[in-house]
Amino acid sequence: MSGVHLPEKYEPPAPVEELSIRSADGIRLHAEVHGQPGAPTVVLAHGWTCSTAFWAPVIRELSDRYRVVAYDQRGHGHSEIPPSRARYSTRALAEDLSAVLARTVPAGERAVLAGHSMGGMTIMAAGDRPEVAERTAATVLISTGPGELVAELTVLPPAVRPRGLRRFLHRQLLRSRMPLGPVSPVSRAALKYATMGPASPAGQVETTARIVQACPTAVRANWAAVLDRLDVHAGLARLTAPTSVVVGTEDRLTPPVHAHRIVAGLRDPQGLLLLPGVGHMSPLERPAEVAAEIHRMASGYLAAASGEAAAPASAPASASDSASADERTAVA
């Protein structure tokens, strides 16, 4: 997948196909296809500083019943690094997703889209694009937010006051160009505190550290500048696909307040899944639960192989009461 050597348990499976996809501005994107050819398609978009390798545990959970497409966001993994800061934007994220769907989801068919962190922001940024909507059956937004990211960060403790100082310090952390490697006990501890739940085992922490450390510093900083001023509320409001939301209760980067705001802003919300004790890296921390939520949406909204639409699985009775009717907490 990404060329990062990971602990054996977290090593990515071998893809059945690798693709090179050109986005609208010519940037080359790396994509991989896993699972069952001809099966319903799930498309995975990873977050800031990660790569397709991040999805490995989820891919293993899904690949026995789905055709799973994972791609590297521009600048990450095996995708091309943009030559200028102008090529880093939410518009570019949306155009990249559009290009991936056009290449991997045949016309007339639809996929379930799942995005973690910046991947969820990608889906929201593309919410007003008809070419994305026509290939989307449902979406799962995981550990993400539509805006006000710096204002809601909880990396620094509440004791750091006043609020303006906390916001300033959080912005400096977000946009820092300090290298995140090499991986060491200190860097692992810092990354675990900022991005993962306190009970995350050593293997998960090591995997996260190696994946994040592999992201080039300039790429990390240029995307941080985009996240600092992120505002994809308009795309969120235009997202018509049935959408579920997942968040860890200990997420310091995109705390649960964002998940509640997303649910309130969706046209067709299909529930909020809370993962107790889980941090920002929920697909790696709790892959079984995240994969189960993707499967719930896929089994409910993807057309069956015969072309007949399936009925929604465990969907709320109405959009107006969906946040309360289908807010669930996973069993730890």
Average the pLDDT over 112-139 and give the result.
Answer: 97
In the chain, the amino acid numbered 248 is G
Cα distance between residue 46 and residue 265, in whole Å: 22
**Is it the case that residue 323 has pLDDT exceeding 80?**
no
Strand pairing of 67-71 and 111-116?
A: unpaired
Short-list 112, 97, 115, 94, CA closest to 47: 115
Question: Tell me, what's the pLDDT at 172?
Answer: 56
Short-list 143, 276, 256, 149, CA closest to 208: 143
Question: Tell me, what's the pLDDT at 182?
Answer: 65
**Is it the case that residue 130 has pLDDT exceeding 60?**
yes
Residue 196: partners with Cβ closer than 8 Å, 6 or more residues away: 204, 205, 208, 279, 280, 281, 285
CATH of 8-329, one of 3.30.420.110, 2.40.100.10, 3.40.50.300, 3.40.50.1820: 3.40.50.1820
**Is it the case that residue 209 has pLDDT exceeding 50?**
yes
User: Of all residues in the chain, what percent carry a pLDDT higher than 90?
Assistant: 66
Question: Tell me, what's the pLDDT at 303?
Answer: 61
Question: Tell me, what's the pLDDT at 173?
Answer: 63
Task: Domain ranges for the chain, please list them.
Answer: 8-329
pTM, two decimal places: 0.88
Q: Tokens 């240029």 sit at which residue? A: 222
Q: How many residues does the chain have?
A: 332
**pLDDT tens column, 49-106:** 999 999 999 999 999 999 999 999 999 999 999 999 899 999 999 999 999 999 999 8
